[in-house]
């Protein structure tokens, strides 16, 4: 009879109700299945048996075969210790116990071969092993347990209640004995053969009871591949189903608007990357399916012009377009930028934000519904029910991670047929993460900067260099440049941060006195109108220095600002430092980013600062950030389900991830519905996905 892996853990031999409650509360193990997928986090290599004369004076754990040839109790300051003489055919050593001495004396049989395991000490010319693990040699050889012993995740409570690693090992053995170690295969034969993958049952056995390092490595590879393969299969299928089910408007012609702009009004030559991305977008828009594309490009790589030219394709086909940005500042900036691009053309563009006056709103609502208004740019205000388009064909969302899924879907509902969606982000996402988190979107990358841009010079300076930094600021202001000075803002310590900001502002005011110098200040506790007033003074060049918190991270475009000074930069994450640096270097002049810190720096802070001074490649920076912070932190909680992996690690196993995506794509391109008989195992597994949230509840 085959055992059902959904059987509650209480019924497994050696568990019982009390242990079952502990396993549920501490490790989330409810069923046989959950136990099977409790993967070890390390292994004790017990493949080698040492002789006493081979022992070294190091801290390694070793195992030795020998016999106890006598006991001795030795008095010490507190109580006494029990010492046994342990002998093999090469020498003698000591075993020592400081507790449970009566039990040891009653239960350990002299002159019977034992396997002992533990850490060896060297003291007074003799090796000794305190509190060794001991097992009669014959039992050791009969046991299912392998030479390499698995060490399972545990908690203090489990250890205190006697559920030790040894107990977990025993329970795991019971599970394999009860199931005969036979589990359903989840991948199809051709794939197993092509990649020389271990079969499922063999992999599970060797992950829990590996005989040697080689078998363990093969088992790990098989299970990591499987976990990543099914995540990719899900994401790619979601994309295919989306394209098959959700029909989009077919923009079949590239007409007057696009061609006129391209021939007569394009302010600079497009980079090859921009041309490639426009081609990808154009193919989507003419494919009869709804476009769902993510456009990634570093700060200043020219996403805006790609967005504008995509809008022109919508206009050429008689549709309206909109662009939604997360903040009013960014929306205004897009409005001004697109307004300049469209200045020579007869295109109607309007801006809608929370600050728009009632009279303006009324005109926008009317002209949007009757089709006179072609392009609408705005903030969350675009999502209001009153905002009705005549025929919205393309919706562009900037910095999408700042909008929730529900907000995005509101844009869809503006039409009976959903518009094409282009999502833009200036936060480079490492390729591995993009494949896992946005695997259901098509991804375009602008990976080259427009010609003529000078690289921003980035330096790290300690507080003791502050006077030199001030002198440098004065020199830059003399040249007519403007400067940002940014302070951290970490929610939990807002009061402290506010004090830092105000102290910093006061010292800058002392060093740069009026009327010669004018200084703006912007922070989160100001009223929006005041914030906007200060921002505008800086934009117009009325102030030379902008002292701010990270509210300026996204969306201030001041071409004349050439210096970014980031105070306490060790308190910022890498992607935030990179975003802030991107606020300068917008004009033709040489720009600078100065990272100020105290002297005490953690290892992670040193890596972040070294990375920032070494490279300005956003994708490389994102890779380092991913290594330092881990995937969950970078993407925020909304993605943690995908990245809550049991055995794979998308940072260390990116080669396996790429391979898994390649094979998932290949299988689906030949058989999108998985109906071919050879794909039965994959289809069954995929269907079981719907039943269980946890990926490992279905892939055994």
pLDDT score recorded for residue 283: 94
Binned at pLDDT 50, 70 and 90, residue 529 comes out as confident
pLDDT score recorded for residue 169: 92
Q: Is residue 470 assigned to a domain?
A: yes
Q: Is residue 290 assigned to a domain?
A: no
DSSP letters, 316-349, are HTT-EEEEE-SSHHHHHHHHHHHHHHTTTS---E
Helix (H) or strand (E) holding 548: strand 545-548
Q: Is the pLDDT of residue 1 over 50?
A: no
Closest to 437 in 3D by CA, of 620, 565, 626:
626
CATH of the domain at 514: 3.40.50.300
Side by side, the strands of the sheet bearing 320-324 are 349-352, 375-378, 320-324, 392-398, 420-425, 292-297, 442-446
Which of the 8 DSSP states describes residue 134?
A: E
Query: pLDDT digits over 510-520, tens only?
Result: 999 989 999 99
Query: pLDDT digits over 565-598, tens only?
Result: 999 999 898 988 998 898 888 777 899 999 999 9
Are residues 524 and 551 both part of a single domain?
yes
Least confident of 66-75, 341-350, 417-426, 631-640: 631-640
Query: pLDDT digits over 162-200, tens only?
Result: 899 989 999 999 999 999 989 999 999 999 999 999 999
Are residues 558 and 480 both part of a single domain?
yes
Query: pLDDT digits over 29-64, tens only?
Result: 999 999 999 999 888 877 788 999 998 877 667 899
Q: Is the pLDDT of residue 230 over 80?
A: yes
Average pLDDT on 385-412 reads: 79
pLDDT score recorded for residue 439: 74
pLDDT score recorded for residue 469: 96
Average pLDDT on 283-295 reads: 91
Q: Is the pLDDT of residue 259 over 90?
A: yes
| Cβ(444)–Cβ(296) below 8 Å | yes
Are residues 403 and 492 both part of a single domain?
no
Which of the 8 DSSP states describes residue 162?
A: T
Which of the 8 DSSP states describes residue 57?
A: S
The residue behind tokens 């009390």 is 18
Dihedral sign for Cα atoms in the order 106, 111, 114, 118: positive
Q: Is residue 307 assigned to a domain?
A: yes
Burial classification of residue 285, based on how many CB atoms lie within 10 Å of its CB (0-12 exposed, 13-18 middle, 19 or more buried) = buried
Closest to 354 in 3D by CA, of 373, 317, 394, 326:
326
Binned at pLDDT 50, 70 and 90, residue 694 comes out as low
Are residues 475 and 552 both part of a single domain?
yes
Query: pLDDT digits over 76-101, tens only?
Result: 878 889 999 999 999 999 999 988 88
Q: What's the rounded Cα separation, in Å, for the pair 336 and 308?
A: 12
Q: Is the pLDDT of residue 156 over 60?
A: yes
Q: Is residue 224 assigned to a domain?
A: no
Are residues 35 and 52 both part of a single domain?
no
Q: Is residue 587 assigned to a domain?
A: yes
Average pLDDT on 625-631 reads: 78
Of the three residues 121, 146, 171, the one that is the final residue of a domain is: 146
Average pLDDT on 290-296 reads: 90
Are residues 599 and 476 both part of a single domain?
yes
Q: Is residue 279 assigned to a domain?
A: yes
Choose between 320 and 642: higher pLDDT: 320
Mapping DSSP onto H, E and C, the string for 566-611 reads ECCHHHCCHHHHHHHHCCCCCCCCCCEEEEEECCCCCHHHHHHHHH
| Cβ(577)–Cβ(605) below 8 Å | no
Are residues 403 and 518 both part of a single domain?
no
Choose between 413 and 473: higher pLDDT: 473
Q: Is the pLDDT of residue 146 over 60?
A: no
**CA distances (Å), 282 to each of 18, 67, 552, in order?**
62, 79, 33
Are residues 306 and 262 both part of a single domain?
yes
Average pLDDT on 240-265 reads: 90
What contacts 409, CB < 8 A, 6 or more positions away? none
Q: Is the pLDDT of residue 494 over 70?
A: no
Are residues 495 and 359 both part of a single domain?
no
Q: Is residue 110 assigned to a domain?
A: yes
The residue behind tokens 């394999």 is 176
Are residues 119 and 264 both part of a single domain?
no
Question: What is the tally of structural domains in the chain?
Answer: 4
Task: Kindly report the pTM of this predicted structure.
Answer: 0.70
pLDDT score recorded for residue 311: 98
Binned at pLDDT 50, 70 and 90, residue 401 comes out as low
Tell me if residue 255 falls in helix, strand or coil: coil
pLDDT score recorded for residue 297: 87
Least confident of 109-113, 296-300, 654-658: 296-300
pLDDT score recorded for residue 639: 44
Q: What's the rounded Cα separation, in Å, for the pair 105 and 193?
A: 55
Query: pLDDT digits over 633-668, tens only?
Result: 544 434 444 556 888 887 778 889 999 999 999 999
Are residues 481 and 596 both part of a single domain?
yes
Of the three residues 593, 615, 637, the one that is the final residue of a domain is: 615
Range of the domain at 55: 48-146
| Cβ(700)–Cβ(200) below 8 Å | yes
| Cβ(441)–Cβ(293) below 8 Å | yes
Of the three residues 97, 127, 146, the one that is the final residue of a domain is: 146
Residue-averaged pLDDT of the chain: 87
Q: 519-522 and 545-548 as β-strands: parallel, antiparallel, unpaired?
A: parallel
Average pLDDT on 542-562 reads: 81
Query: pLDDT digits over 438-486, tens only?
Result: 777 888 989 887 777 788 999 999 999 999 999 999 999 999 999 999 9
The residue behind tokens 């055992």 is 3
Q: Is the pLDDT of residue 498 over 70?
A: no
pLDDT score recorded for residue 403: 59
Binned at pLDDT 50, 70 and 90, residue 523 comes out as confident
CA atoms within 13 A on the CB side of 537: 16
Are residues 391 and 515 both part of a single domain?
no
């Amino acid at each position: 009879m085959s055992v059902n892996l959904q059987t509650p853990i209480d019924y497994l031999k050696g568990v019982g109700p009390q242990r079952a409650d502990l396993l549920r509360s501490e490790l989330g193990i409810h069923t046989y299945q959950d136990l099977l997928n409790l993967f070890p986090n390390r292994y004790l290599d017990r493949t080698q048996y040492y002789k006493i004369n081979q022992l070294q004076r190091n801290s390694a754990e070793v195992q030795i075969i020998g016999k106890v040839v006598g006991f001795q109790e030795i008095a010490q300051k507190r109580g006494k210790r029990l010492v046994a003489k342990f002998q093999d055919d090469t020498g003698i050593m000591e075993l020592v116990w400081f507790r449970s001495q009566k039990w040891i004396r009653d239960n350990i049989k002299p002159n019977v071969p034992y396997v002992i395991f533990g850490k060896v000490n060297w003291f007074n010319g003799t090796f000794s092993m305190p509190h060794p693990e001991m097992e009669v040699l014959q039992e050791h050889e009969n046991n299912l347990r392998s030479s390499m012993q698995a060490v399972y995740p545990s908690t203090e409570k489990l250890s205190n209640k006697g559920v030790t690693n040894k107990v977990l090992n025993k329970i795991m053995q019971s599970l394999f004995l009860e199931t005969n170690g036979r589990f359903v295969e989840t991948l199809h034969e051709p794939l197993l053969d092509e990649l020389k993958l271990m079969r499922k049952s063999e992999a599970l056995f060797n992950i829990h009871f590996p005989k040697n390092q080689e078998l363990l490595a093969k088992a790990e590879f098989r299970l990591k591949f499987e976990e990543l393969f099914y995540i990719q299969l899900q994401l790619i299928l979601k994309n295919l189903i989306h394209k098959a089910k959700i029909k989009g408007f077919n923009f079949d012609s590239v007409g007057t608007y696009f061609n006129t702009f391209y021939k007569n009004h394009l302010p600079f030559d497009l980079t090859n990357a921009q041309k490639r991305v426009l081609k990808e977008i154009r193919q989507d828009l003419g494919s009869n399916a709804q476009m769902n594309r993510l456009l990634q490009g570093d700060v200043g790589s020219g996403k805006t012009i790609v967005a504008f030219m995509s809008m022109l394709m919508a206009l050429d086909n008689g549709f309206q377009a909109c662009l939604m940005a997360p903040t009013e500042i960014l929306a205004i900036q897009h409005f001004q930028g697109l307004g300049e691009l469209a200045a020579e053309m007869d295109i109607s563009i309007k801006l809608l934000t929370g600050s728009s006056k009632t009279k303006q709103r009324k005109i926008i609502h009317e002209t949007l519904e009757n089709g006179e208004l072609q392009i609408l740019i705005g903030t969350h205000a675009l999502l209001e029910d009153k905002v009705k388009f005549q025929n919205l064909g393309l919706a562009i969302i900037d910095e999408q991670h700042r909008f929730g899924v529900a907000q995005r879907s509101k844009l869809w509902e503006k039409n009976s047929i959903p518009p094409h969606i282009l999502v833009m982000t200036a936060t480079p996402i490492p390729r591995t993460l993009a494949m896992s988190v946005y695997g259901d979107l098509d991804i375009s990358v602008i990976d080259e900067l427009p010609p003529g841009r000078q690289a921003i010079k980035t330096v790290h300076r300690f507080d003791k260099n502050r006077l030199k930094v001030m002198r440098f600021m004065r020199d830059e202001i003399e040249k007519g440049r403007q400067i940002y000075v940014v302070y951290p803002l970490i929610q939990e310590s807002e009061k402290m941060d506010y004090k830092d900001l105000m102290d910093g502002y006061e010292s800058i005011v002392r060093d740069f006195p009026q009327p010669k110098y004018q200084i703006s200040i912007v922070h989160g506790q100001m009223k929006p109108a005041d914030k906007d007033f200060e921002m505008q003074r800086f934009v117009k060049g009325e102030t030379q220095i902008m002292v701010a918190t990270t509210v300026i991270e996204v969306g201030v475009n001041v071409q004349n600002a050439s210096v970014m000074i980031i105070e306490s930069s060790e308190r910022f994450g890498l992607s935030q430092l990179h975003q802030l640096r991107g606020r300068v270097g917008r004009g033709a002049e040489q720009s600078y980013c100065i990272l100020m810190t105290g002297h005490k720096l953690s290892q992670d802070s040193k890596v972040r600062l070294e990375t920032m001074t070494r490279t300005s490649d956003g994708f490389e920076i994102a890779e380092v950030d991913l290594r330092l912070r881990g995937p969950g932190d970078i993407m925020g909680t909304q993605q943690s389900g995908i990245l809550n992996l049991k055995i794979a690690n998308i940072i260390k196993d990116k080669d396996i991830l790429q391979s898994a995506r390649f094979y998932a794509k290949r299988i689906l391109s030949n058989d999108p519905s998985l109906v071919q008989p050879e794909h039965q195992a994959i289809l069954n597994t995929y269907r079981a996905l719907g039943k269980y949230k946890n990926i490992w509840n279905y892939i055994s």
